[in-house]
Structure 1
Amino acid sequence: MGNESPEKFADRDLLFDFYAELLTEHQRHIFEAVAFLDCSLSEVAREAGISRQGVSDLVRRTEEQLYAYERKLHMAEKFRAEQRIARELLRLSEAESGEALLPEIRKLANELMQLTAR
């Protein structure tokens, strides 16, 4: 899949988590084999009964489709924002302070972290 950065892989993985159900079963199967199971294009092509180039094109188009879904639906962006808020709430709740609300802030932050955990 080229020399993509770790951030791009993390983005792609997160997008797949959110949008895989919007893909066809064929797209999911091929994309998972190449992107997550580290199968070679040749191996996947043999198994799927298509050309190596066909596998490569399908993986590229599927990745483009995942990014297109994100541009429209923003689910991964919202997830990252929720995670950032939860981390900040936890940080604030762990600060030395006599505020009576700190236990409640900690409880809510932990709930948010659980809701947004992958």
Structure 2
Amino acid sequence: MENFLNQALLYDFYGGLLTLNQKRIYEEVVLNDYSISEVARDEGVSRQSVSDMIKRCSHILMEYENQLGLVDKFITTKKLAEKIKDISQILLESSLKNQDSETGSMLKELDRLAQMIMDIQ
């Protein structure tokens, strides 16, 4: 499952850099879970050529990630936003107990901003 999510993220970030043929075959096998045999039959090519294409595309996508690191930065940003959100929730609860409305409103805004970062896709 984790491998699928990683492949899907790589494709989301860098799939637009593949050729149309590479995108079509990669989507069918990796994202749509068609078998290599099904895709080979539909494309009129050998299973080996489809398998090679998938390996080549996976390698290309990983190379883009190794050079640019966008997926890693995305995941790190999401995790940091979640931490900010968790901390702001704790502080918000504390400020409500102490009836500190100014701090409470700032923490609500911080929580809202953290949620906006987490929602970026």
TM-score computed with the length of structure 2 as normaliser: 0.85
Higher Cα Rg, which structure:
2
Structure 2 alignment gaps of length 5 or more = none
1:1-118 equivalence runs, <5 A: 6-95=1-90, 96-98=93-95, 100=103, 101-114=106-119, 116=120, 118=121
Ranges of 4+ aligned residues in structure 1 off by more than 4 Å: none
Counterpart CA distance in 2 for 1:112 and 1:33 is 31
CA distance in structure 2 between the partners assigned to 1:28 and 1:83 by the alignment: 27
* Deviation of the 1:65 alpha carbon: 0.8
Instruction: Measure the CA separation in 1 of the matches of 2:23 and 2:34.
Output: 14
Within 1, Cα distance between the matches of 2:47 and 2:77?
A: 40
Q: Name the structure with the higher helix share.
A: 2
Cα deviation for residue 89 of structure 1 reads: 1.1
SS of 1:94's equivalent in the other structure is helix
The number of aligned residues is: 111
1:71-100: CA deviations, max 9, x gaps?
Answer: 011110111011011101110111032271
Give 2:41's aligned amino acid.
R
Any gaps of 5 or more consecutive residues in structure 1?
1-5
RMSD of aligned residue pairs (Cα, Å): 1.3
